[in-house]
């Protein structure tokens, strides 16, 4: 009985710590997903084709997102571990190097967006008008890819030090400006021209630049932990790339697999593709902020506990945070599945699109308990510097079920939209099984210790 009370007290203490770290991230992500939801709502006022255009363009726009999150993963792993050990010099250099790498990696996307935007949409099998609108949006957003990278990495760097509030303040303001810009420029209010999908893209681009500039100023200033320094240590560069590369590869492959998946959707019609964008966006709006908050908090907590030399507590915390995600996001997923029609009706009045979107929303609701547990454990492993296990879990699930099973369900089994929904849920179940095995049996704590010893944080 005493042991049970001790475990319960540890779980509650972990949940309190996580919620303290996670709520600013949740608030930030709520406004971020609200911004993307408003984009869908605004474009939905034009036509289902406009929804499909922005959804297909976002497949390519996610490429800078994946690189930014990948490098941000390296930054949060190193900055959280070094914060735990008190090694401020190596922490600050890791932050500076990751920002520079992110800015440089964004430059090629500018040329891609301007030169290949419309052909890139058309090659997916989109109708000519969908490709035209999607190309305009993509070129506008890609122009600020370096800023998108810097903003993501700067936020993760600060979060790794335990400061989750500064990124929240900046991103909430940025996202609200984005929302206002999408409405004003997209629909032509207050004397501005009605730019439709281009106006939505301009609002996103301006927000990307605002976020990057302000967060870099925060890091460079004296107000928070962390600062910008002159990079000199190749060991830190190597570790950043080693930790970030699997995350970048994971994001790149996941985005690449979204292309054939969207082609499968288009086999069933533009309305089905638009319905998927609605169902997915609905899930992300309702549960995404919590899941992302738990993911980042798990990285910070596990990284700092490993930096403090307490791998057993880190292991306990990982499972405890997964439990918190399960009882919150899992419950919300059940509600989403039960009231899917009422939710998707917000996005469109097209009856056929609503029917399909409700099916996708139910699939995401049913899969929510599996997905959030995967996300938390993946974040815990990231805090230790293990980004390979989550990559294997996610990509194998996407290949086998998200794309492979869905294609077979549509072309061979003729299950249509229902078959794709089943593939989505099976993908989440598989990813959780793989990452849970990695967290339970993998040598991630030993890897973190080797990394810290290699860059000399114990004697910094």
pLDDT digits (tens, 9 = 90+) for 73-109: 888 888 888 888 888 888 888 889 999 999 999 999 9
Tell the burial category of 128 from Cβ atoms under 10 Å away from its Cβ (0-12, 13-18, 19+).
exposed
Q: ∠ CA(240), CA(246), CA(385), 5° rounding?
A: 55
pLDDT computed for residue 390 by the predictor: 94
Q: What does the alpha-carbon distance between residue 383 and residue 366 come to, in Å, rounded to a whole number?
A: 28
DSSP 329-385: HHHHHHHHHHTHHHHHTTT---HHHHHHHHHHHHHHHHHHHHHHHHHHHHHHHHHHT
Residue 25: pLDDT over 90: no
pLDDT computed for residue 5 by the predictor: 63
Query: In the chain, what percentage of residues exceed pLDDT 70?
Result: 97
pLDDT computed for residue 320 by the predictor: 96
pLDDT confidence band for 224 (50 / 70 / 90) = low
pLDDT computed for residue 36 by the predictor: 72
pLDDT computed for residue 225 by the predictor: 63
Which distant-in-sequence residues (6+ apart) come within 8 Å of 107 by Cβ?
A: 145, 146
pLDDT computed for residue 205 by the predictor: 92
pLDDT tens-place string over residues 292-334: 899 989 999 999 999 888 999 999 999 999 999 999 999 999 8
Residue with tokens 């506008």: 140
Across 58-67, 68-77, 349-358, 374-383, the highest mean pLDDT is recorded for 374-383
pLDDT computed for residue 459 by the predictor: 43
Determine which of 47-61, 176-190, 242-256, 428-442 has the lowest per-residue pLDDT on average. Answer: 47-61
Q: What's the start-to-end Cα distance of the chain, in Å?
A: 43
Q: What does the alpha-carbon distance between residue 56 and residue 122 come to, in Å, rounded to a whole number?
A: 10
pLDDT computed for residue 455 by the predictor: 79
Residue 1: pLDDT over 70: no
pLDDT tens-place string over residues 169-196: 998 899 889 888 888 888 888 888 877 7
Q: Which residue has the higher pLDDT, 32 or 428?
A: 428
pLDDT average, residue stretch 431-436: 97
CA-based nearest residue to 79, from 164, 14, 172, 19: 164
Residue positions counted in the chain: 460
pLDDT confidence band for 70 (50 / 70 / 90) = confident
pLDDT computed for residue 129 by the predictor: 81
Residue 48: pLDDT over 80: no
* Alpha-carbon dihedral angle through residues 433, 435, 438, 443, given to the nearest 10 degrees: -170
pLDDT confidence band for 402 (50 / 70 / 90) = very high
Which distant-in-sequence residues (6+ apart) come within 8 Å of 80 by Cβ?
A: 160, 161, 162, 299, 300, 302, 303, 304, 307, 383
Q: What does the alpha-carbon distance between residue 272 and residue 204 come to, in Å, rounded to a whole number?
A: 26
The tokens for 224 are 């928070």
pLDDT computed for residue 144 by the predictor: 93
pTM exceeding the 0.85 threshold for the entire prediction: no
pLDDT computed for residue 258 by the predictor: 83
pLDDT computed for residue 425 by the predictor: 96
pLDDT computed for residue 189 by the predictor: 85
pLDDT tens-place string over residues 325-346: 999 999 999 888 888 888 777 7
Q: What does the alpha-carbon distance between residue 327 and residue 340 come to, in Å, rounded to a whole number?
A: 20
pLDDT confidence band for 460 (50 / 70 / 90) = very low
Determine which of 52-66, 131-145, 401-415 has the lowest per-residue pLDDT on average. Answer: 52-66
């Amino acid at each position: 009985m005493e042991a049970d009370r001790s475990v319960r007290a540890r779980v509650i203490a972990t949940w309190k710590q996580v919620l303290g770290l996670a709520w600013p991230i949740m608030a930030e992500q709520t406004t971020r997903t609200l911004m993307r939801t408003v984009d869908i709502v605004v474009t939905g006022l034009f036509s289902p084709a406009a929804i499909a255009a922005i959804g297909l363009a976002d497949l390519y726009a996610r490429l800078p997102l994946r690189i930014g999150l990948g490098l941000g993963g390296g930054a949060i792993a190193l900055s959280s571990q070094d914060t735990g050990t008190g090694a401020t010099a190596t922490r600050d250099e890791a932050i500076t190097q990751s920002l520079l790498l992110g800015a440089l990696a964004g430059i090629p996307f500018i040329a891609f967006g301007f030169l290949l935007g419309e052909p890139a949409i058309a090659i997916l099998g989109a109708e000519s008008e969908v490709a035209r609108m999607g190309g305009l949006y993509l070129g506008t957003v890609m122009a600020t890819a370096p800023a998108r990278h810097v903003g993501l990495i700067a936020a993760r760097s600060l979060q790794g030090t335990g400061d989750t509030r500064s990124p929240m303040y900046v991103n909430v303001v940025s996202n609200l400006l984005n929302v206002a810009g999408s409405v004003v420029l997209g629909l032509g209010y207050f004397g501005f021209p009605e730019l439709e999908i281009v106006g939505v893209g301009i609002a996103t681009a301006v927000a990307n630049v605002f976020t990057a500039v302000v967060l870099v100023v925060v890091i460079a200033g004296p107000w928070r932990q962390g600062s910008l320094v002159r990079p000199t240590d190749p060991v830190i560069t190597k570790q950043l790339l080693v930790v970030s590369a699997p995350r970048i590869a994971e994001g790149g492959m996941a985005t690449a697999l979204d292309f054939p998946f969207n082609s499968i959707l288009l086999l069933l019609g533009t309305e089905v593709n638009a319905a998927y964008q609605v169902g997915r966006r609905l899930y992300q709006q309702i549960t995404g902020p919590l899941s992302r908050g738990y993911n980042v908090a798990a990285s910070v907590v596990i990284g700092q506990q490993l930096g403090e030399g307490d791998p057993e507590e880190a292991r306990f915390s990982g499972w405890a945070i997964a439990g918190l995600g399960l009882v919150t996001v899992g419950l919300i997923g059940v509600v989403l599945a039960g009231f899917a029609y009422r939710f998707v009706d917000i996005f469109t009045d097209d009856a056929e699109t609503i029917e399909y979107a409700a099916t996708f929303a139910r699939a995401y609701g049913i899969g929510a308990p599996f997905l959030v547990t995967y996300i938390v454990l993946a974040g815990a492993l990231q805090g230790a510097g293990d980004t390979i296990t989550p990559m294997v879990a996610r990509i194998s699930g996407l290949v086998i079920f998200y794309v492979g099973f869905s294609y077979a369900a549509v072309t061979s089994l003729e299950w249509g939209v229902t078959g794709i929904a089943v593939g989505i849920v099976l993908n989440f179940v598989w990813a959780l099984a793989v990452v849970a095995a990695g967290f339970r049996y993998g040598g991630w704590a030993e890897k973190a210790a080797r990394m810290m010893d290699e860059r000399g944080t114990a004697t910094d």
